[in-house]
Structure 1
Amino acid sequence: MSQIVAARFTTFDAAEAARKRLLTSGLIEEDVAEFYVNPGGQHARYPIGGDEYADPQARPAGLGATGSGAIGAVVGAAVAVVLTFMLFHAFLVLAVATLVGAYVGTLIGALLLTRGASRANEPGSMAMPHERESGVLLAVHVNSGMQARAVRDLRETSGQDIEIASGLWQDGRWADFDPTRRVKPLDSDGSVPASGTTKY
C-alpha cells in the first residue's frame, strides 16, 4: 500500500496551481493526479444508480413509522370513542378515526426520524470525519520524507479536506479510490484525527 496525501479544490484551475506548486517542490508527474469527484449519490455504484442500496437517512423511517403509527392509532381510537358516544352515536366513526390516527402518526413518526438522521450526518466540524464533498481532488503519492511538504503545499494553495490515506497508487493514479468513503481530514496543526488514516 502507498501513502497518499489528498485535498479537495473547488475548480480545476485551483487544483492545477497546487499541482504546479507540488512539482516545483520535488515531486514528479507520476506522483500527482487530479480528478473530479461527483456529488454524493452520483457515483453509479449500482446498476440503477446511486451509491448505496438504501439511503442511510431513510433507514430510521420504518421504526419511526411503526412506533408513531401505534401511538396515532391509540390517540385516534380515544378521540373516536369520545366522538362516538357524545356526538355521532355510530361505531363507524370509531373505525375511521382509529385508521386516520394511525396514518397520521405513521407519517409524522417517519418524517421526524428521517429529519433527525439528516442532522446526525451533518459534520459538526470540518476537522471531523464526514461525507466526501464534490470537487476536484488532487492526490499525491508521497514517502515519509515528502509528506509534510505535500501537506504544507496543499494547505497554502487553499486545499480543503486535506487527508492522509493508505491506498493503491498505480500508473500515476489513485487506483482504489472510493468516493463513498468518509473523509478524515487533518487538523489545523497537521495531525490526523483520532479515527486514524483512511485505508482503502
Structure 2
Amino acid sequence: MSLIVAGRFTTFPAAEAAAQTLFERGFVEEDVTLFFVNPPGQHSRHALDHSPHVTGAPPLHATTGHGATIGAAAGAVIGAAIFMAFAATLPVVVIAAGVGAYLGLQVGTHLQTRRAHAEHHDRVRREFRNSGVVVAVHVCNDNQLDAAAILREAGGTDLERASGHWRQGRWADFDPTTTPVPLGDLNQQHA
C-alpha cells in the first residue's frame, strides 16, 4: 500500500497550477495525478449498481411506515368527525372515514418520504467527498506534510490522507464513496 495525500480544487486550471507547483518543488510527474469526482450520490449511477450507499434515496418501503400510519389514522378521524358533525348516516360516516384515511395516508407518506430523502442527502454530504478536481500525490512519511502544505497554499480544500494502490502514475483503487480521512491541522488552517 502507498501513502497518498490529496486535495480538492474547484477547477481544472487551479488543480493544474497546484500540480505545477508540486513539480517545481521536487515532486515527479509519476507521483502526481488529477481527476474529477462527481457530486455525492452520483457515483456509479449505473443500472447494475444496486448499492443503497451510492445511488439515490432509500427505497420507499423503508421510509413511509410511521408517517403513513399516523396520516391514515388522522385522516380517518377527521373525515368521520366532519360528517358526524352534520348528523350524516352511518354509511356516509364510514365512507368519509375511508376517504379521510386514504388522503391522510397519502399526505403522511409524502411527508415521511421527503424527510427520509433529506436525511439521506445530509448523510451523503457528511460522509462522502465533495465534487471537484482532486490532485492526489504519492508521498512517503518524510514529504507528506510538504505535499499537503503545497496543496493547501495552492487553494486546495478537503485535504486528506489515504492508503491505497499507486500504479502507473495514478491512484488505482480510489473509491469516491469511501469516507475520506482528513488531514485535520492543515484543513483547519485553510478554513
* Shared fold per TM-score greater than 0.5: yes
- Is 1:13 aligned with 2:16? no
Cα displacement (A) at 1:64: 4.4
Cα displacement (A) at 1:170: 0.6
Q: Give the structure 1 partner of residue 32 of structure 2.
A: 32
CA distance in 2 between partners of 1:67 and 1:21 (Å): 55
What stretches of structure 2 of length at least 5 have no aligned partner? none
CA distance in 2 between partners of 1:54 and 1:190 (Å): 26
- DSSP 3-state at the match of 2:155: coil
Q: Which has the higher contact order (CA 8 A, sep 6+)?
A: 2
- DSSP 3-state at the match of 1:26: coil
In 2 relative to 1, CA 43–112 (structure 1 residues): closer, same or farther, beyond 3 Å? closer
Whose helix proportion is higher, 1 or 2?
A: 2
Q: Which segment is superposed worse, 158-167 or 19-28?
A: 19-28
Cα displacement (A) at 1:132: 1.1
Q: What TM-score, normalized to structure 1? A: 0.78
Aligned residues: 184
Q: Which segment is superposed worse, 114-123 or 53-62?
A: 53-62
Q: What TM-score, normalized to structure 2? A: 0.81
CA distance in 1 between partners of 2:177 and 2:14 (Å): 23
CA distance in 2 between partners of 1:18 and 1:24 (Å): 10
Q: Give the structure 1 partner of residue 80 of structure 2.
A: 81
- DSSP 3-state at the match of 1:136: strand
In 2 relative to 1, CA 174–96 (structure 1 residues): closer, same or farther, beyond 3 Å? same
CA distance in 1 between partners of 2:83 and 2:187 (Å): 69
Q: CA RMSD in A?
A: 2.7
Q: Which segment is superposed worse, 54-63 or 5-14?
A: 54-63
Cα displacement (A) at 1:115: 2.7
CA distance in 2 between partners of 1:52 and 1:145 (Å): 38
Tell me if the contact between 1:32 and 1:173 (Cα under 8 Å) persists in the aligned partners: yes
Cα displacement (A) at 1:149: 1.0
Q: Deviations over 1:91-147 (max 9, x none)?
A: 322222222222222222222333344345544xxxxxx421222111111111111
CA distance in 2 between partners of 1:116 and 1:136 (Å): 26
Q: Give the structure 2 partner of residue 184 of structure 1.
A: 181
Cα displacement (A) at 1:21: 1.6
> Percent same amino acid among aligned pairs?
39
Which one of the candidate residues 109, 129, 144 is aligned to 1:106?
A: 109
